[in-house]
Amino acid sequence: MSLTMLQLVQQTASELNLAVPVSVAGNPNQDVQQILALMNGSGYELLKEYDWQALQVQYRFYTQAITTNATTVNGSTTLTVDSGTDISGVTTQWQITGFNINQDTYVVSANNTTKQIVMSQMANGTGTGSIVLAQTAYDLPNDFETITDRTQWDKTKRWEMLGPEDAQQWQWLKSGYISTGPRIRWRILDNQFQIWPPMNTNEYLGWEYRSKGWARSATGAIKNSFTADTDTTVLDDRIMVLSTKLKYFQIKSFDTSALTADYNRYLSVAKANDKGSPNLSFAPYPSKVLIGYANIPDTGYGS
């Protein structure tokens, strides 16, 4: 069981030969305030130090799309959708494709009462036809720190998404003549997970990320700092104490050589034991994916 913030501060104060507090949150003692600040600083730094398994999170969501008929006017940025179409959830994170709509056209605003949408580009014709409203930008999780490479998958089609695309490739995809295909491309832009091309179906997408929520409240709520005596951490308790002691000595301009050695040694062990490691062979060989002696049947070859 993880130690609480109060217990971690008490342990740190004891090892530093300081007065041990009976409470931390709201404590006016300067040493207690400083230890808490340094311990929070340790948490901020440790989450960037390593991909701790306790901070790795799987994220899943469905793409959103609406197919409907709409009336456009040549040279106008306003289109009107069918009266029965609910566009209450359509925001500037959505794109528009289809009848008389230019490529890379975004929603500027949507009014569900009047059923009118203001577009980022003018329509290239007048008339009524089918359009697709598709959300292409999705908010990142509140505790998002950084995305994990090669974990982005279109689970509906069972294909890995391609990316992250750089700025030049992204603009080529959105502006070129031949820029769509069966694979979803992705990029993190404007603190949003953005995809291309716009999907006209509810695709199930997923990826993993590192959470900045290294602390937990007494009820299990994710937090990115210690604020209450009953808070705990998903990181190693001993690392938090050793890191805080080291920072305390650094702030006071004391000799840190012994504390640095202790911290680095324990940090190295914690990283090695945090999650499993693969066995590496000096003589690897390809797996037998075709029919061979290991997977042919004993009988039933036919006549």
Write out pLDDT tens, residues 15-67. Answer: 999 999 999 999 999 999 999 999 999 999 999 999 999 999 999 999 999 99
Write out pLDDT tens, residues 169-179. Answer: 999 999 888 76
- CB neighbour list of residue 117: distance below 8 Å, 6 or more residues apart: 70, 78, 79, 80, 81, 87, 90, 96, 107, 108, 109, 110, 111, 133
Tell me: pLDDT of 297 over 80: no
Mean predicted confidence (pLDDT) in 207-216: 98
| Structural domain spans, the chain | 5-56+217-274, 65-135
Among 109, 131, 121, CA closest to 175: 121
Quickly state the pLDDT bin for 116 (edges 50, 70, 90).
very high
Query: Which of residues 185 and 177 earns the better pLDDT score?
Result: 185
- CB neighbour list of residue 18: distance below 8 Å, 6 or more residues apart: 31, 35
Tell me: pLDDT of 88 over 70: yes
Residue 168, burial from CB neighbour count under 10 angstroms (0-12, 13-18, 19+): exposed
The pLDDT assigned to 277 comes to 80
Query: Which of residues 122 and 179 earns the better pLDDT score?
Result: 122
The pLDDT assigned to 123 comes to 97
The pLDDT assigned to 1 comes to 61
The pLDDT assigned to 291 comes to 65
For 58, half-sphere exposure in the C-beta direction (CA atoms, 13 angstrom radius) is 4
Please say whether the beta carbons of 70 and 100 come within 8 A. Answer: no
Tell me: pLDDT of 121 over 90: yes
3-class SS letters over 43-73: HHHHHHHCCCHHHEEEEEEECCEEEEEEEEC
Tell me: pLDDT of 127 over 90: yes
Tell me: pLDDT of 115 over 90: yes
The pLDDT assigned to 207 comes to 98
Query: Which of residues 290 and 243 earns the better pLDDT score?
Result: 243
The pLDDT assigned to 276 comes to 82
Query: Which of residues 202 and 180 earns the better pLDDT score?
Result: 202
